[in-house]
C-alpha cells in the first residue's frame, strides 16, 4: 500500500469535501480519508474520490452547505461594499451586524459553538427569518450602492436600522434556543409568559386609563417587573444563576419588542381618544391628531433600542454560559 503525502491534491480535495458532512457523520468522513490513504494508483484514487463526492452529496447537505456559504459570503461582500459607500458613522454598525449574522448562521451548522441546530420545522423557520434579514440587508445594500442623493441615503438608513433591530433579535433568540444553551424549555416558557403578562398589564392600563402614555416610563417599569418575575421563577437549583439571568434578559427583550409593536399599532389604529396630544397647538385638530399619531412612537424608540441591546446581550450571555 502506498501512503500519499498530506499535500497531495486528492487528499486535500477529499479533506475539504468531507467537511460538508454533518457532524454526526464524522466517523464516515474519517473512514473515507483513511481509505484514500490506502489506495495507491492515481486513477483509482480519483475514481474513489468521485464516488465519495457522490456519497457526500447523497447526504443532501453538501449543496445546502455550499449555498449557505455563498449566501453568507454574498451578504458580507455586498454589505461591506455598501458600508464603504455610505460613510463612516454607519459603517461600523453595519459591519458588526453582518459579521454577527454570518458567524451565527455559520456556527449553527457546526458542533463548535451553538449547533448543530435541529432540522425541525421551528428550526427551519428560524433560519428562514435569519436569511430574510440577511436578504433585506443585501437588497438595501444593492439599492444604495450608488447613493442618488439624500432621500436614498435616508431610506437606506431606515432599512439598516430595521435590519439591525431584527438581526439583534434573530441572533439573540437563536442563541438562547440553541441546543447547547443553558436555557431550558422551562426558562423559555416562563420568560415568554412573563413578557406577555407585562405587556398585557401595560395594555390593560392603557385601555382602562387612556390615552397611551406619551412617555415610556410605565412600560419600562412593567418590563422590569416581568424580567424580575422570570428571574425569580428560574432562580432555584444548582444552575439557578445562569437560568435566572437568561430568563430575565429574554423576558426583557421580548417585553420591550412587544410594547413597541403595540404602541405602533395603537398609534395607527386606536381611536382619537387614546392618542395623547403631543403635537404643537398651532395646528388644526385633525392635523394635530395625525401629527400626534406619528410622534407617539418616538419616545418608545428608546425602549426598542433597549430591547435590541438586551437581545444582543442575550446572544453573548447564551454563548458564554452554554453547556459543554
Partner 1 sequence: MSRPRRPSSQTVRVLQALSARPERWRYGYELGQEIGLKAGSLYPILIRLHDRGLLEAGWEEDSPPGRPPRHLYRLTGAGERLAGELAAAATPDGRARSAQVRAAW
In the complex, the residues that contact partner 1 under the rule CB under 8 A are 1, 3, 25, 27-28, 30-35, 37-39, 47-55, 58-59
Of the pair 57, 70, the CB lying nearest partner 1 is at: 57
CB of 235 closer than 8 Å to CB of 173 = no
CB of 54 to partner 1, least distance (A): 3
Of the pair 55, 224, the CB lying nearest partner 1 is at: 55
CB of 314 closer than 8 Å to CB of 192 = no
DSSP state of 190: H
Question: Measured at the alpha carbon of residue 170, what is the angle toward residues 69 and 242, in degrees to the nearest 5?
Answer: 115
Can you say how many angstroms the Cα of residue 128 is from the centroid of all Cα atoms in its chain? 11
Of the pair 15, 192, the CB lying nearest partner 1 is at: 15
A 10 A CB-CB count for 226 gives 28
CB of 67 to partner 1, least distance (A): 21
**Closest alpha carbon to 36 in 63, 3, 61, 84:** 3
CB of 293 to partner 1, least distance (A): 57
CB of 65 to partner 1, least distance (A): 17
CB of 11 to partner 1, least distance (A): 11
Can you say how many angstroms the Cα of residue 182 is from the centroid of all Cα atoms in its chain? 18
CB of 252 closer than 8 Å to CB of 193 = no
CB of 316 closer than 8 Å to CB of 177 = no
Of the pair 60, 146, the CB lying nearest partner 1 is at: 60
Of the pair 37, 289, the CB lying nearest partner 1 is at: 37
Of the pair 2, 294, the CB lying nearest partner 1 is at: 2
CB of 180 to partner 1, least distance (A): 24
**In whole angstroms, what is the distance from residue 182 CA to residue 260 CA?**
28
**In whole angstroms, what is the distance from residue 135 CA to residue 74 CA?**
10
DSSP state of 271: -
Of the pair 119, 150, the CB lying nearest partner 1 is at: 119
**Closest alpha carbon to 204 in 262, 253, 276:** 262
Amino acid at each position: 500500500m502506498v501512503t500519499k503525502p498530506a499535500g497531495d491534491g486528492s487528499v486535500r480535495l477529499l479533506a475539504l469535501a468531507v467537511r460538508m458532512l454533518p457532524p454526526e457523520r464524522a466517523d464516515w468522513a474519517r473512514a473515507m480519508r483513511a481509505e484514500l490513504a490506502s489506495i495507491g494508483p492515481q486513477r483509482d484514487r480519483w475514481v474513489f474520490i468521485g464516488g465519495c463526492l457522490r456519497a457526500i452529496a447523497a447526504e443532501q447537505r453538501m449543496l445546502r452547505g455550499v449555498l449557505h456559504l455563498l449566501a453568507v459570503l454574498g451578504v458580507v461582500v455586498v454589505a461591506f461594499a455598501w458600508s464603504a459607500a455610505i460613510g463612516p458613522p454607519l459603517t461600523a454598525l453595519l459591519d458588526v451586524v453582518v459579521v454577527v449574522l454570518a458567524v451565527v448562521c455559520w456556527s449553527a451548522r457546526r458542533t463548535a459553538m451553538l449547533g448543530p441546530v435541529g432540522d425541525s420545522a421551528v428550526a427551519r423557520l428560524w433560519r428562514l427569518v435569519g436569511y430574510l434579514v440577511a436578504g433585506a440587508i443585501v437588497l438595501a445594500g444593492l439599492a444604495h450602492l450608488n447613493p442618488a442623493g439624500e432621500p436614498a441615503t435616508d431610506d437606506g438608513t431606515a432599512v439598516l436600522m430595521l435590519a439591525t433591530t431584527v438581526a439583534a433579535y434573530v441572533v439573540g433568540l437563536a442563541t438562547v434556543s440553541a441546543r447547547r444553551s443553558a436555557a431550558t424549555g422551562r426558562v423559555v416558557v416562563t420568560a415568554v409568559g412573563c413578557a406577555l403578562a407585562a405587556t398585557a398589564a401595560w395594555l390593560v392600563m392603557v385601555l382602562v386609563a387612556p390615552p397611551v402614555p406619551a412617555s415610556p416610563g410605565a412600560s419600562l417599569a412593567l418590563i422590569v417587573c416581568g424580567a424580575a418575575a422570570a428571574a425569580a421563577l428560574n432562580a432555584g437549583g444548582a444552575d439557578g444563576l445562569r437560568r435566572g439571568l437568561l430568563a430575565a434578559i429574554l423576558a426583557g427583550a421580548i417585553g420591550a419588542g412587544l410594547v413597541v409593536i403595540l404602541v405602533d399599532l395603537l398609534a395607527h389604529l386606536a381611536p382619537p381618544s387614546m392618542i395623547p396630544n403631543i403635537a404643537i397647538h398651532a395646528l388644526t385638530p385633525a392635523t394635530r391628531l395625525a401629527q400626534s399619531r406619528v410622534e407617539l412612537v418616538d419616545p418608545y424608540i428608546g425602549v426598542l433600542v433597549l430591547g435590541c441591546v438586551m437581545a444582543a446581550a442575550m446572544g453573548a450571555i447564551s454563548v458564554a454560559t452554554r453547556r459543554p
